[in-house]
Structure 1
Amino acid sequence: MIKRIGIYVAIAAAWGLVYAAKEHFGIPDVWVWIGLIAMIGALTSFNFESRLQEVEARVVRKDYAGIIEQLEGQRHKPQQKQPNSLAAGGAIVSWIRPEHEVLFEDFRWFAAVLNQHLPDPWAIEELPRTDARGYEGPEIGRMYEVWYNACKVGRMQVTVGSGLLLRQDKSEDERAARVELTLNYLRFIPYQDARALLYELHLMIGPFDFNDAVSSRSRAGALAADELGGHLWECVRNSDFDPIFDFLVDGRYDLLRHQVEHWKKHNIDPMAKWGGDRDRVTE
């Protein structure tokens, strides 16, 4: 009400100034009315555009209200549904090669490793499927759902990487994995949590120099920040919709293998001990 009274007072004051200028300079009435009509049209247009933006903002917020409620809800406790074998998960048996079997074994605790290191809202849950998606047809690997609190925000899959593959004539050190991640609703997830997920994936999958861990960690952090910056740019450039975030990292997964070997050495099975979820006690 006070705001409306202020608007009326401002209009009256403006009209008084216009009338005084008309009398002082001898401006014809027709020009005064033309100017008044133009001013009213400009104010009406500005008010209409402001109201329209408010309505659009409310509509967008309303459309995502349920999603935001889930994102801010209770954390989802992952239920690991690991396949017993590649064939049991649906992989085409005739397509299975030795490097697929090695990758399947190396990544059996991948979800547990991520759940141990990620911030509290995240949960990685393995699916019982091994028929991953490829560019030219079906692929073979492990598949996961990605949760942020009570909201299922995406999918992730691990397949044989594009680097040197493990074959019968190669050493075990010449192996590579390709991790592909697709996320929805990233714009509603806090930056630090989003960066933490990408950081851990780069850290676990990319090359890791155990003699210079600081540089490896800095590199992972820089790559994660750069990818989020690119996604933010696309969100601003195409602000009418919420773009899907696609992420890919391809590497020899040195740090993941190191963590798995550490657990094996100490007879720790994270799936049996913690259900593949997190436990903040350092082992």
Structure 2
Amino acid sequence: MIKKLGMWIAIVIAIGVLSAVQERLSVPNYIVGLAILGLGAIVIGFQIESRVRALEERVDRKDYSGIINQLNGVRHKPRHQQPESLEAGGARASDIESAHHMVFEDFRWFGALLNRHLPDWAIEELNDTRFRGDYGPAIGRRYNVWYRACQVGTIQVSKGSGRSLERERVKEERSARVELDLNYLRFIPYQVAHNFVYQIALLIGAYDFEDGRVSRAKADAAAAGSLGGHLWEVVRKPESGPCFDFYVDGPYDLLKHTFDHWKTQGLDPMVEWPGDWERD
């Protein structure tokens, strides 16, 4: 406030000096007018620079040191709270379809599988089966996502799009939708973030078991594309620190194949290692 008042006093004094000089030296009016315009341009430039500097200071001085310390900390040990059923997790029986039951059962070990492939992350299931999806209320499984010691987001799993209510059709057209929301992704190494998104895209999308290279390439492209779009938004809106959103809707061929193999081996990851891959 004092700086602004001083600036306006200086402007008034400068105009007074220009008027006195004009009278004494008979300076033409247009010269004085140009001088005043120039003075005004300097003042406006000063105001714009001050506001830009203030914005940069707000962005640069936002303190993320506590978050960064957690992101560099010791990995969180997931403590799963698996619901016994959709109803036990809060879903209303009248809202549940056959497809909901199928996806709920098929994804029983989803958190354990992700923890196996993502050593720096921890996926922790919640006792919450009725939640808000991208397109309204959803029913399924929900997880907290940790990167090392920092809780950074959520995963939500629900039935895929276009599901039929007929039980046999549901079995033939198996589909799930997985939604991933993450914060602070800009502080996490690219390859680590890419591997996370890649694993979800690979597990949920269609998979060619005769030649998996195409399926892996598609998952890789999906991960790179979504992370590239997020980077664009971070650069465009650095002050807001936008959340990273990713979703995939598919038949989850590789996930189902992996779990079927575990079942034939008599392996239950929630018993053998309580939903978390054994680590040294």
User: Per the shorter chain, which TM-score range?
Assistant: 0.7 to 0.9
Query: 1:88 — aligned with what?
Result: 88
Distance 1:137 1:227, change over 3 A: closer
Contact 2:59 2:238 survives alignment (8 Å): no
Question: What letter is aligned with 2:240?
Answer: F
More displaced, 142-151 or 126-135?
A: 126-135
**Structure 1 residue 160, shift from structure 2 partner:** 0.5
Q: Please say if 1:154 is aligned against 2:153.
A: yes
**1:167-206 correspondence to structure 2 within 5 Å:** 167-170=166-169, 172-206=171-205
Cα distance in 2 for residues equivalent to 1:164 and 1:182: 24
| 1:111 equivalent in structure 2 | 111
1:224–1:169 distance in 2 versus 1, CA, 3 Å: same
Q: Give the drift of 1:132.
A: 2.1
- C-alpha displacement of 1:278: 1.4
> Is the contact made by 1:231 and 1:245 (CA closer than 8 Å) also made in structure 2?
yes
Relative to structure 1, the CA distance from residue 206 to residue 274 in structure 2 (aligned partners, 3 Å threshold; closer, same or farther) is same
Shift in Å, 1:48:
8.1
Q: Which amino acid aligns with 2:88?
A: A
Label 1:57 to 1:135 Cα distance change in 2 as closer, same or farther (>3 A). Answer: closer
| Amino acid in the other structure paired with 2:71 | L
2:34 corresponding residue in structure 1: none
Letter in 2 for 1:228: L
2:98/2:170 contact within 8 Å kept: no
Consecutive unaligned residues of structure 2, counting only runs of 5 or more, are 1-38
Match of 1:226 in 2: 225
Amino acid at match of 2:61: V
Cα 1:272–1:136 change in 2 (3 A) is: same
TM-score of the superposed pair, with normalisation by structure 2:
0.78
Contact 2:78 2:122 in 1 (8 A): yes
Q: 1:237 — aligned with what?
A: 236
User: Equivalent residue for 2:210?
Assistant: 211
**CA shift for structure 1 position 121:** 1.4
Kindly report the root-mean-square deviation, in angstroms, between the aligned alpha carbons of the 2 structures.
Answer: 2.7
Residue 91 of structure 1 aligns to a residue whose secondary structure is coil
1:266 CA displacement: 0.2
SS in 2 for 1:169: helix
Relative distance call for 1:136 and 1:262 in structure 2 (3 A) is closer
Following the alignment from structure 1 to structure 2, what is the Cα–Cα distance between the partners of residues 99 and 88? 17
Instruction: Give the partner amino acid of 2:87.
Output: A
Provide the secondary structure at the position in 1 that maps to 2:168. coil
**Residues matched between the structures, number:** 239
The residue type paired with residue 158 of structure 2 is T
Q: Which range is displaced more, 147-156 or 48-57? A: 48-57
The letter for the 2-side match of 1:103 is V
Contact 1:132 1:159 in 2 (8 A): no
Cα displacement (A) at 1:167: 2.9
Deviation string, structure 1 residues 90-136 (Cα, Å, up to 9, x no partner): 00111112111111110000001111111x21010000110121456
Find the counterpart in structure 2 of residue 59 from structure 1.
61
Residue correspondence of structure 1 range 247-258 to structure 2 within 5 A: 247-258=246-257
Question: What CA distance in whole angstroms lies between the structure 2 residues aligned with 1:53 and 1:103?
Answer: 47
Contact 1:165 1:176 in 2 (8 A): no
Name the SS for the 2:172 alignment partner: coil
1:78 shift after superposition: 0.4
Decide whether aligned partners of structure 1 residues 135 and 235 sit closer, same or farther in structure 2, where only a CA change above 3 A counts: closer
Contact 1:186/1:245 (8 A) holds in 2: yes
Q: In structure 1, how many angstroms separate the alpha carbons of the residues matched to 2:162 and 2:135?
A: 18
2 CA distance for matches of 1:134 and 1:52?
37
In structure 2, relative to structure 1, the CA distance for the partners of 1:216 and 1:280 (3 Å cut) is farther
